[in-house]
Amino acid sequence: MDRTSVVNRIDWLAPWAFLILFLAGTWPALEGIGVRWLKLDESYSHGYLALAVSLFFTIRKWQTTRPVVGFYPFWLIPLVLSAAFYLIGGILFIEAFQQVALLPLLMSGLLALWGWKQAKPFFLPIGILLFTLPIWDYLAWSLQLITVAVNQLILSRLDIEFIVEGIIVYFPGVGAFEIAHGCSGLRYLLVGLTLVVLYSELNLRRLRERLLLCIVGVLLALVANWIRVFVIIYVGYESDMTSSLIHEHDTFGWWVFAGTLVPLFMFARYLERREVPENGEQQDFVKAPRSSTGLKALGLLSVLFIVFSWWTTPGMDEKGAAQGHSNPFSDELTEWLPLFEDQLHGWQPIVERPDWSFGKTFFFRGDGALSEAGNGERLFLGLYSYDYQRPGSEVVQYHNRLYAQERFFPNSTFPVPVTSSDELAGMKLKVLGGDKEVYVASGYYVEGRWETSDLEAKLAQLPGIFNSRTDASLLVIGLACDRCDGAGRLKALAPEIKQAAQEYLDRLYE
């Protein structure tokens, strides 16, 4: 084997060997990121598509540049520092530290193998993965406040009575909207940044034009979210919270975002044409048809990102969509306003494929005067029913859980009496790594019998063979408040809510 063959093999094998070591050493953090990419209602569901695009451009860049492996000891310093930061995150159980260290660890390893000049072309193809790492959640709160401020400004120009408290916009006697994490616009922002960085990689050469495109891309992504949130709030107000747009807000949001891509790419095309070449090679590149090819490629990628993000937005099944809008507890909630949310501090029960479902969050308004000194009580009511139980559609099954174990843990349990001889099961949940608390009461109504445990709910099917009912339902009541006795308040609310649920289910299934 001649020396040239050996060198070529080393040039090919060394980066792959480093990549395998990187994957093996950071697999726990990578696995956690992969799980977040599978959470289809979060801001990172475009992760796997972005990974595929990154791999495509990285491999194409490697084929055109063919970097030669060497040894550049200076870059061992950032490599060691990145590895130390990653290890500190693992020791302290700070997942964000590990996530932040991933790309510096990968890039410093390539720099140590290839040096600055050879590794530099790979920065952008690999760097787009930055917009898929779950470290951007820390921007969500600021984006929520900005969205609230923008909508408050717009609503103040209209003849509408509304009150804003924190991130809640509510209308006396109508309802309330919470500008929650999903309404921050973070998802559109990350997808928009991914697209403009890809466009810059394909078509722009100067840093100034790239920065301008990124700034405009960020602004248009935020504007798309502001428009989306305002339209939903206004339509919800005008329709007395009954418009179908409220339940299809994600699809509407992606249509608005797609509309903002038109002026974005027009501006990008303008930047591309005005870019003054610094040498003949760049001038040839600008005049070549490759530019229009890049524009077409980005147009296709934009469609793919939007369609993929829209398709991965969770929705209700047909029966749930048809029946899930009615409120079984309307008579018991005269002092509560509906919120445009279905969770409390990120908590909601996990129920797979119910035949009928209702899940909604409410905000306490007391006697009708919304007090700024209120205790911020929020109530979640969930009722999930199966017409009959069969494999994969059972009220008690592995995938049905009262809380996501990776985000919450039960701090204590307690009974929730509803009659002198009947009760629901209660527990206090705490957010992992935080101080937020949610008080939850739950019970199963199986073929006309109330049970509090999974085993009892399973066994309740046996006496059910003697009656005509085949239904099984789960009732979940959640309460969160700033300054109140959560367990006591839950116990006070539970009897009427349970009775309303039973009457509704009896009318539905008897």
The one-digit pLDDT tens for each residue of the chain (510 residues) are: 455 554 556 666 778 888 888 998 888 889 888 888 887 767 888 889 899 989 988 988 888 888 888 888 899 999 999 999 888 887 766 677 888 999 999 999 999 989 999 999 999 889 999 999 988 887 888 898 899 899 889 988 888 888 887 777 877 766 777 787 778 888 899 999 998 988 888 888 888 888 999 999 999 999 999 998 888 888 878 877 667 666 666 777 888 888 888 899 899 888 888 875 544 444 433 333 344 454 555 555 556 555 555 555 444 333 333 344 467 887 767 778 777 677 888 899 999 888 888 888 888 876 444 444 346 788 999 999 998 877 667 888 877 889 887 788 888 889 999 988 889 999 999 887 677 889 999 999 988 889 988 878 877 776 655 667 888 999 999 999 877 888 999 999 999 999 999 999 988 887
Taking a C-beta distance cutoff of 8 angstroms, is the pair 336, 312 a contact? no
Taking a C-beta distance cutoff of 8 angstroms, is the pair 217, 192 a contact? yes
Q: Which contacts qualify for 289-298: CB closer than 8 Å, 24 or more apart?
A: 291/203, 294/199, 294/202, 294/203, 295/199, 295/203, 295/265, 295/268, 295/269, 297/202, 298/195, 298/198, 298/199, 298/202, 298/203, 298/265
pLDDT at 476: 95
pTM of the predicted protein model? 0.61
pLDDT at 301: 54
pLDDT at 463: 66
Taking alpha carbons only, the member of 299, 291, 309, 226 closest to residue 265 is: 299
Taking a C-beta distance cutoff of 8 angstroms, is the pair 100, 135 a contact? yes
DSSP classification of residue 90: H
Taking alpha carbons only, the member of 82, 78, 159, 66 closest to residue 111 is: 78
Q: In the chain, what is the straight-line distance between the N-terminal and C-terminal CA atoms, in Å?
A: 83
Q: Which amino acid, 193?
A: L
pLDDT at 117: 92
